[in-house]
Amino acid sequence: MSTTQWIRDPATQTATPRALEGIKVVEMGQLIAGPFCGKTLGEFGADVVKIEAPGAGDPLRNWRLIQDGTSVWWQVQSRNKRSVALDLRQAEAQALARQLIAEADVLVENFRPGTLEGWGMAPEQLHAINPGLVILRISGYGQTGPYRDLPGFGVIGEAMGGLRHLTAEPGRVPVRVGVSIGDTLAALHGVIGVMMALYHRKVQGGPGQVIDVALHEAVFNVMESLLPEYSAFGAVREAAGSALPGIAPSNAYPCQDGWVLVAGNGDSIFKRLMTTIGRQDLADDAQLADNAGRVARVAEIDAVIGAWTQGQSVQQVMEQLAAARVPAGKVYTAKDIAEDPHYRAREMILTQRTRDGHAVEVPGVVPKLSRTPGTVRSNAPHVGDDTDAVLAEVGLSSEQIAQLRAKGIIQ
């Protein structure tokens, strides 16, 4: 976007450029991991140009619930982006993509390894025309190793990364988290990599570089003590349902009208919890004064808490535990989130208007920056909405653009 967009710094009431103002990103990917990375960069001011195929565009446009022919998920994933429709199967379209990349700071792609190379866009070729380019490559298994050429989606990364083995009730089939957490974790690791590479380039004067993010590695990176416990003790952590093995008490407990999650695993918190539920004997029990003692008697503790919660509503339990400063939470549905005043107070529910004129509530922007907060500046585009404008920015005339469109190279 050619003009600087300023925001007002709430601390100084002066105009401040956005955190990533002036950073140009070319997003060449689809569905979840790469586009989520592009979404995050765009929310903090980067100019994100999304290259997608003419016609249907990114398949995410047609995933899940549809409004006027477009997924409402699309309205979140592609806000603050400009859409350029190029048929990358054609050499002329590949040349156009290289023109866009030549002027970019960041390239984001989540194709199978070798795809860019087949289009004449290997990292060394791109760095020859743009030495400072930061290239983020997200794939199932990474750009190296014996599995690099295997197809990999987020669910496979969750399985290989160790997460799926733990997401189940003991002895039952592993279940998915419910969202594409493997893709999103990879995207967030990608954002971290991009920011470090941009810092290296700007502050340390380094050249551009390649960031290689594998889906399964992003999942594995958040698996806490899984591997060290196996290495040190030969312990294979198993599924434990809603409990947190080795930390007690922390579980989901039944109420009259639902479930409540209680995390009473701090030493002083545990004492307050037991006092609140009328079990002063357990609050004063020296064997339960620390986590190791509570873990040894976790079944007893869980049964005591469950007996207390099941005679009350979720709201009653929540009110009593809040008064005692014991961390507790209900299991939220989408309806609960939409109606919660805390979400709205923190601007985590925003109303966007789609390009077809519909108002839809969407998640707000995280993280919260005090001086350069992220914002939603434009709604998600239709396929090719910005093709002409973006190609004009790299020097193509209206006649050249018309000729490319006539040949089916662009939309």
Residue-by-residue DSSP string for 108-171: EE-SPTTHHHHTT--HHHHHHH-TT-EEEEEESS-SSSTTTTS---HHHHHHHTTSTTTSSSTT
Does the pLDDT at position 271 exceed 50? yes
Does the pLDDT at position 9 exceed 60? no
Predicted TM-score (pTM) of the model is: 0.92
183 catalytic per annotation: yes
Specify the length of the chain in residues: 411
Range of the domain at 266: 250-332
Same domain flag for 61 and 125: yes
Query: Which run of H or of E encompasses 191?
Result: helix 181-203
- Express each pLDDT in 343-352 by its tens digit: 999 999 999 9
- Express each pLDDT in 144-202 by its tens digit: 999 999 999 999 999 999 999 999 889 899 988 889 999 999 999 999 999 999 999 99
In a domain, 243, yes or no: no
Residue where a domain terminates, one of 297, 332, 367: 332
Same domain flag for 56 and 154: yes
In a domain, 337, yes or no: no
CA distances from 138 to 120, 145, 295 (A): 18, 14, 40
Total number of domains in the chain? 2
**Which domain CATH number covers 71?**
3.40.50.10540
- Express each pLDDT in 76-133 by its tens digit: 999 999 999 999 999 999 999 999 999 999 999 999 999 999 999 999 999 999 999 9
Same domain flag for 72 and 148: yes
- Express each pLDDT in 18-43 by its tens digit: 999 999 999 999 999 999 999 999 99
Same domain flag for 322 and 376: no
Same domain flag for 288 and 355: no
In a domain, 54, yes or no: yes
Helix (H, G, I), strand (E, B) or coil at 19: coil
Task: Spot the catalytic one: 183, 212, 302, 385.
Answer: 183
Q: How far apart, in whole angstroms, are the C-alpha atoms of residue 158 and residue 193?
A: 20
Helix (H, G, I), strand (E, B) or coil at 84: strand
